[in-house]
Amino acid sequence: MAKAKRKAEKAPGNGANLGFEQKLWAAADKLRGHMDAAEYKHVVLGLIFLKYISDAFQERYEALKAEKLADPEDRDEYTAENVFWVPKDARWANIQGKAKQTTIGKVIDDAMVAIEKENPSLKGVLPKDYNRPALDKQRLGELIDLIATIGLGDKDSRSKDILGRVYEYFLGQFASAEGKKGGEFYTPRCVVRLLVEMIEPFKGRVYDPCCGSSGMFVQSEEFIRQHGGRIGDISIFGQESNPTTWKLAKMNLAIRGIEANLGPRHGDTFHNDLHADLKADFILANPPFNMSDWGGERLRDDVRWKYGIPPVGNANFAWVEHIINHLAPGGIAGFVLANGSMSSNQSGEGEIRKAIIGFDLVDCMIALPSQLFYGSPIPACLWFLARTKKNGKFRDRRAETQFVDARKLGHLVDRVHRDLSDEEVARIAATYHAWRRENDVRQRLATDARAERRDDAPVQRHEGGLEEVILEIPDHTGISTGRRAPGARYAADWS
């Protein structure tokens, strides 16, 4: 859920100063040597993790020291406040005190082992290869000294979300350095926030079948906090196939105290569904675009393919059908796919899409601006599926689908990367929420002075380049007819 680098003067007002992050990246970059980003990201993120839990521990430690009857070495005093218990040898003061020693690599490895021993949920997750010969110990010590100057886990820093800013900045930089490979664990924060703002996961089971570094879950937690909800009202389930990314996801959740079921290990969602019986109230996902090597030839008779058998050469609609299979009766899903998913007719994809539309599952489609994703120039869109469009929570939307064209939004943060502002995210989400809750959207469009007609579909033009199209789906149960899927011409325009 990382966000591309921004200049310090344009940073959102959450108190974090991006200047030190740039210095931190420059220091970390010196470590690279003959290592690629896939290796040294774990060196840096592991140290950030250590510093965070040590800062949070130290703050609680000092508070307990000030209490007459409290014991600052009593583990229960920390766990009661959802603070990691950090063993003495793993505390940052001990690590920094030995930063100039040639044995600093072993010191950090031993600290990671001690933390895992005291916190079983992280067993086998933390990086423990700082003592390897290839890692320059002098530069490692310099990096430790630099990280020591940054507050991460104390209350003041948490309120400013400094940890989140550092973590996101690094994930973004690593994704950029790794190119396409980095995108496997990275979804731009603005996209994650838009998905979460759209489906509003306040209460229930939240699922991500390809969770990467767990950005969807972190943003869901932030959404609940910002809107006055209770974190305990959601249960989190996820799966990740890449073993190192699965570990990163566990760390990402642990530093925020978020409990989640990511399975006992990494696993391929298609061939080893670790949550096979789960029916989720909310599903958020950013599956790999146009994945060709997904082993579809071994799953031709899978029970998940209720709308057609997805092609062996492209997993896009395998992801869509997997998501639908895991939706609870009143569930809603929001996910990212390549724009081609809206119009492709290759290898039966058009028939699968027609069937999904025919069963009236598509609630909203959003065309995104280009250049949002690291390492992928492919234009993307957001799909929002609702198991039922008449469930009492919102107005009856049966036989209607909303299309939102947001391609003109966003701003360049560097030569190749674009970002959506918080205001733009809010505007897009508000457009969907207004349509979902309004009693008679067609009457609004018919009487609005700005509304136009195009190919018999009402078009609502909003300020700033946002365009909304409401399509009425005729005969939404007649999936066997030869009628072209409603909205196909607009999807083709977006592809």
- Interior angle at CA 450, CA 446 and CA 452, nearest 5: 60
The domains of the chain are located at 8-178, 187-494
* CA angle (408, 409, 414) in 5-degree steps: 105
Domain at 187-494: CATH architecture: 3-Layer(aba) Sandwich (3.40)
Gap between the Cα atoms of 164 and 189, Å rounded = 11
- The rounded distance, in Å, linking the Cα atoms of 216 and 29 is 27
pLDDT value at 64 more than 90: yes
Global confidence as pTM: 0.79
CA distances from 205 to 272, 315, 361 (A): 20, 25, 19
Q: Rounded mean pLDDT of 366-385?
A: 86
- CA–CA separation, 447 and 461 (whole Å): 13
Question: Virtual CA dihedral for 275, 279, 282, 288, nearest 10 degrees?
Answer: 40
**Mean pLDDT score, 176-188:** 58
d(CA 116, CA 106): 15
259-315 pLDDT, tens digit per residue, is: 899 999 999 999 999 999 999 999 999 998 889 999 999 999 999 999 999 999 999
pLDDT number for residue 471: 60
* Cβ-proximal residues to 203 (8 Å cutoff; 6+ apart), any chain: 229, 233, 234, 281
DSSP letter at 273 equals -
Conformation bin of residue 220: beta by default, left when phi > 0, alpha when psi is -120 to 50: alpha
Position 105 scores a pLDDT of 96
Using DSSP bridges, classify how beta strands 280-285 and 327-338 pair: parallel, antiparallel or unpaired.
Answer: parallel
Most confident of 169-173, 393-397, 469-473: 393-397
State the Cα–Cα distance between residues 486 and 483, nearest whole angstrom.
8
The model's pLDDT over 8-29, given as tens digits with 9 standing for 90+, comes to 333 333 233 345 667 777 766 7
Please state whether 282 falls in left (phi above 0), alpha (psi between -120 and 50) or beta: beta
Q: Which two tokens stand for residue 216?
A: 């969807």
User: What DSSP designation does 135 have?
Assistant: S
Average pLDDT over every residue of 31-45: 67
| Fold entry, domain 8-178 | Ferritin (1.20.1260)
Average of pLDDT values for 355-374? 91
Q: 100-109, 131-140, 463-472 — which is least confidently predicted?
A: 463-472
Query: Average pLDDT over the chain, rounded to whole?
Result: 80
Burial class of residue 264, CB neighbours in 10 A (0-12, 13-18, 19+): exposed
pLDDT band at 165 (very low <50, low <70, confident <90, very high): low
Q: What is the mean pLDDT of residues 229-258?
A: 85
Q: What is the DSSP secondary structure assignment for residue 261, as one 8-state letter?
A: B
Name residues whose C-beta falls within 8 Å of residue 108's C-beta, 6 or more positions apart in sequence: 46, 47, 50, 95, 130, 131, 140
- Mean pLDDT along residues 380-407: 91
Are 173 and 248 in contact by the 8 Å Cβ rule? The answer is no
* Comparison of pLDDT for 24 and 456, the residue scoring more: 24
Would you state the structure tokens that stand for residue 473, as one six-digit string?
């789906």
Q: Average the pLDDT over each of 10-24, 149-163, 336-350, 460-474 and give the range with the smallest value.
A: 10-24
What is the pLDDT, as a whole number, of residue 82?
74
Q: Is 400 exposed, middle or buried (0-12, 13-18, 19+ CB in 10 A)?
A: buried
Give the span between the Cα atoms of 382 and 389, in whole angstroms.
Answer: 18
Q: Residue range 142-160: average pLDDT? A: 76
How high is the pLDDT of residue 440?
A: 45
pLDDT at 83: 82
